[in-house]
Structure 1
Amino acid sequence: MVAKEIIKHFQLQEHPEGGFYKETYRSDIIAKSKNLANEFDGDRNLCTSILFLLTSEKFSAFHKIKQDEIWHFYKGTTLKLHLISPEGNYSFQLIGTNFNLGEIPQFTVPAHWYFAAEVLQQNSFSFVGCTVSPGFDFRDFTLPSCKELVKEFPQHQSIIKKLTHH
């Protein structure tokens, strides 16, 4: 299957951060706001998950959420996940199945870390899943402009400029 077939088969839609997605699970169990950290505004579903596809032309721009996010690799080529910690430390993780090259099939992005993702191989795609708990809510999502993120982390200006949409 190629990217266009996967997008059509799973009825993926464009995501604001880039790429294509479809929510596949939203827990019926509700975590009440009084039982969550103060940073959460309102109740949340206990857990959510999505299918997510990136292409060499469509990257996932730097963003952050208030929860940990677990990435699961399904198909395609290596995905490079770029990370900036709240303290400003940059790192990356290769997501894929070339284990002898340091790739791993599952990785957890810590809450409050900025992250972006790109497909390394030209004319290719990465098909992954993402799981969030407490469940994803756009109230927990921050998609900064290039200018805002460079102001916060000027030492990472070049990668930020490469992986932001505006």
Structure 2
Amino acid sequence: MASASEIAAKLKLVPNPEGGLFSEPFRDTSIFLSKSHLHPQYKVDREVSTCIYFMLQSRTVSRLHRTPCAETWHFYKGEPPTIVELDEKDGKVKLTCVGPDIVDDQRVQYTVPPYVWFHQRHISGDGGVTRAEPRDPEAHYSLVRCTCAPAFQF
């Protein structure tokens, strides 16, 4: 299996402000959405969609964040990550494992709704946070693609 560094170099991944590594290989500029035509939660004009590669290695964290748009996660390679969503209204936590094993309740694709607080972690199937000896981040990582519509903007 390719190392995290090899994949990061090939995909031109750089540090993401929310944690992990990313690159944006596609931003759809064919349609430009004026903020006057969008929901008031959008403060600036937007392209119609974006997609990024996102890698989270062992010993790194994805910070809790939210976006004004839906964010669809597509599993590509490595260890299946778990998306942790927090419901502000009732305080409930929702765990969704994004991975290739559909029979074992993993999802090859999952969409986080707009304005939901979430982050990515490696969590065991029973919901417990994986705590083990430090693992080699070159061999233990998740590679996903995230698609946002309207386009994501920092």
For the aligned pair, the TM-score class normalised by the smaller chain equals 0.7 to 0.9
Q: Which residue of 1 aligns with 2:6?
A: 5
Q: Which residue of 1 aligns with 2:109?
A: 106
Picking from 44, 55, 58, the partner of 2:57 is: 55
| Secondary structure class of the residue paired with 1:115 | strand
The Cα shift of 1:11 comes to 1.1
> Which deviates more from structure 2 when the two are superposed, residues 121-130 or residues 86-95?
121-130
Q: Which amino acid aligns with 1:96?
A: G
The Cα shift of 1:96 comes to 0.5
| Contact 1:85/1:112 (8 A) holds in 2 | no
Alignment of 1:43 with 2:45, yes or no, is yes
The Cα shift of 1:81 comes to 0.8
Q: Which residue of 2 aligns with 1:24?
A: 25
Runs ≥4 residues deviating over 6 A: none
Aligned counterparts of 1:33 and 1:127: Cα–Cα separation in 2:
32
Deviations 1:85-131 (A, max 9, x none): 23132111001012222111100000010111023574411100000
Alignment of 1:129 with 2:145, yes or no, is yes
Q: CA RMSD in A?
A: 1.3
| Contact 1:27/1:48 (8 A) holds in 2 | yes
Q: Which residue of 2 aligns with 1:33?
A: 35
Structure 1: unaligned runs, 5 residues or longer: 139-166
| Contact 1:65/1:113 (8 A) holds in 2 | yes
Aligned counterparts of 2:14 and 2:22: Cα–Cα separation in 1:
5
Q: Which has the higher contact order (CA 8 A, sep 6+)?
A: 2
Aligned counterparts of 1:44 and 1:89: Cα–Cα separation in 2:
31
Q: Which amino acid aligns with 1:89?
A: K
| Secondary structure class of the residue paired with 1:60 | coil
Count the aligned residue pairs.
138
The structure richer in helix per residue is 1
| Secondary structure class of the residue paired with 1:34 | helix
Taking only the aligned residue pairs, the percentage that are identical comes to 30
Aligned counterparts of 1:57 and 1:102: Cα–Cα separation in 2:
25
| Contact 1:73/1:128 (8 A) holds in 2 | yes
Aligned counterparts of 1:137 and 1:86: Cα–Cα separation in 2:
23
| Contact 1:70/1:130 (8 A) holds in 2 | yes
